[in-house]
Structure 1
Amino acid sequence: MQMAGFGGDLHIRKKGEIDLVTEIDFEVERMFRALVAERFPDHTVLAEEFSPPEDRGRIDEWSWVFDPVDGTTNFAHGLPIFCSSLALEHRGDPVVAAVYDPTRRELFTAERGVGAWLNGVPLRVSSAETLVDSLLCTGFPYTVHERARDLVDLFGEFLGRARAVRRLGSAALDMCYVAAARLDGFWEQRLNPWDISAGALIVAEAGGTVTNLDGGPFESRRGQVIASNGHVHDQMVETIRTWEASRSRNRTK
């Protein structure tokens, strides 16, 4: 369904100043909700388009966390970097995950304690040991206009330490690319559970490390993440701490 609408005459509307949604987002989510209701009537669905804001921090026994189109802005502009992202969570912890990129026909999957795969082939994170040898990635939230300077400053902090930094526009794919050793690390803040729950499991099962920005245990409801190959993880945490300390000093001047 995504590819049928990609590059065509889509009905697009704004959810916020720069946050877009298309008819494909709505239709795919409707279909998924109907499928879960039929097959798993006791499970809940936490998804981008129809879950009310008050449900975004909710944790249930079994919940399907779903983003019908992660990378909607790319999709709406005809840029082929987007995916569908799905995780089955048990009490807030992802146990099964799938991320599908229809433009490249790449299906990333993971099962807790078993492994992670790309089109059935096992995944393993990269072996880069220093930031200067690393290709990193990040994203900017839809509230970027409210704090653009802070985000650019942190981007610059990493840019000064890494081989290069990218911004692709799909958090789920960014994390899958860490799992596939295409990237060495990823960080972002002000996210939603459906942006990062599936990717977090895929990275972890590929041998990577996933935490909050402060290095503490990952919780998808907190909306922040560092995902890395593990070797450069502490260096990424330290980079963020350095930036936060500098920001605090500047605010007290």
Structure 2
Amino acid sequence: MLPLQADEVVDALDPGAVVVSAAAFLLGFVVVLLLGKTLFVPAVRRVLGSRGFDEVVRSLGTSVANAIVWVAAIAIAFTVAGYGAFLSAFAVFGGALALAVGFAAQDLLGNFVAGIFILKDKPFEVGDWIQWEGNAGRVEDIDLRVSRVRTFDNELVTVPNGDLANNAVTNPVAYDTLRQKFVFGIGYDDDIDEATDIIVGEAEKHEDILDDPAPSVRLVDLGDSDVGLQSRWWIEDPDRGDFVKIRSEYVQSVKEAFDDAGIDIPYVHRELTGSIETIEAIAADE
């Protein structure tokens, strides 16, 4: 059976009916569009702003709200004009198409959603130094799909936001101070208390190492050839460059102080014993 009977086709082609339908379509479209633009879109932007979302998310929300208003205006206009059956068929087709696209682009959509959460929760920001899954670098850009990180070897790494949102990310510069650690190995015959005093003293001399919290030392390891003393100290306004610089200067000063005090920093000695047997095979002349 055809969707439209002959008399329905004739009615639809009647000039008067066409004018009325067109007027109804235009009126419904304009009314819904104006209400959406003046009420719905600004309300969405205000709600996103009140919840602390980033400007990128607010802009995205505004774009989505505008798209919703246009779709709603067209849908309501078709309904008011008397073309609800056409609209229903189009909606079914559009839903099937959206489902197919969703399955095909699920990773892309996942990264997109992850980008929104990163911009909202702010586990890190542009300029922060982060570490994730064995990688490290400074964040240069946070997009809705990917984040761009410049490594300390000056390489640009483009990371899908899903990887950063679904895995542990360390942000060493999230707070005003950062604790650093280093294990100094001394010989078993060396004085632990003397070595501890030197380690703490060199930390207290360094102008970039904080006095509060104070530097401290813990015995953490009895190795095959050394005693491990772990030094812990704090720095202010942590930055990758400062982190490396302060650590290098401090470790060097402790090493030089150990040398002056006659404290040995041993290294592993290995002795290989055994014998090598050689067998010579002499082929007989035939």
Structure with greater Cα Rg: 2
Q: Which has the higher contact order (CA 8 A, sep 6+)?
A: 1
TM-score normalised by structure 2 residue count: 0.21
Bigger strand fraction: 1
